[in-house]
């Protein structure tokens, strides 16, 4: 092979490798690019979802959570739809009323959501605790 030919072969194979890498990345990520579904989206896709796993995101409805022997029952809402969640497992330290959560699990037969993993989705605001003067 002449040097010029060899160079073009190397350049082409590098480009091919880059394209393959991008495709692999795209395929690998496609299922996860949408990391979670909002409560409304999840409710809408419930018929086609079956009992396949997905992540459900919403805020904890204040006063809805009750501890159970194996975890906690609570409701999540996105302001439009609300879903009952039966969680079995540990709770993140920051779990509380109104906190945005991402629950991993699947739909149960009775229309509630069976979760076995809860993650807190915090925002990008950082402030010191506010001092409250009796409300």
Residues forming the site for other proteins (CB under 8 A): 10-11, 14, 18, 22, 25, 28-29, 32-36, 90-95, 102, 117-130
Residue 100 burial (10 A CB sphere; 0-12, 13-18, 19+): middle
Distances (CA, A) of 131 to 17, 58, 98, 106: 57, 27, 19, 40
- Residue 11 CB, nearest approach to other proteins (Å): 8
What's the distance, Cα to Cα, between the start and end of the chain in Å?
A: 82
Q: In angstroms, rounded to a whole number, what is the distance separating the alpha carbons of residues 30 and 98?
A: 30
Is there a contact between 64 and 74 (Cβ–Cβ < 8 Å)?
A: yes
- Residue 109 CB, nearest approach to other proteins (Å): 27
């Amino acid at each position: 092979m002449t040097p010029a030919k060899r160079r073009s072969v190397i350049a082409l194979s590098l480009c091919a490798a880059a394209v393959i890498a991008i495709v692999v990345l795209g395929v690998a990520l496609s299922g996860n690019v949408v990391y979670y579904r909002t409560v409304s989206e999840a409710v809408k896709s419930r018929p086609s979802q079956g009992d396949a796993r997905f992540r459900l995101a919403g805020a904890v409805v204040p006063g809805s959570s009750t501890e159970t022997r194996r975890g906690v029952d609570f409701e999540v809402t996105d302001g439009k739809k609300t879903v009952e969640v039966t969680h079995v497992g540990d709770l993140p330290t920051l779990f509380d009323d109104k906190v945005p959560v991402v629950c991993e699990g699947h739909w149960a037969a009775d229309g509630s959501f069976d979760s076995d993993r809860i993650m807190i989705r915090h925002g990008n605001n950082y402030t010191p605790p506010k001092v409250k003067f009796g409300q």
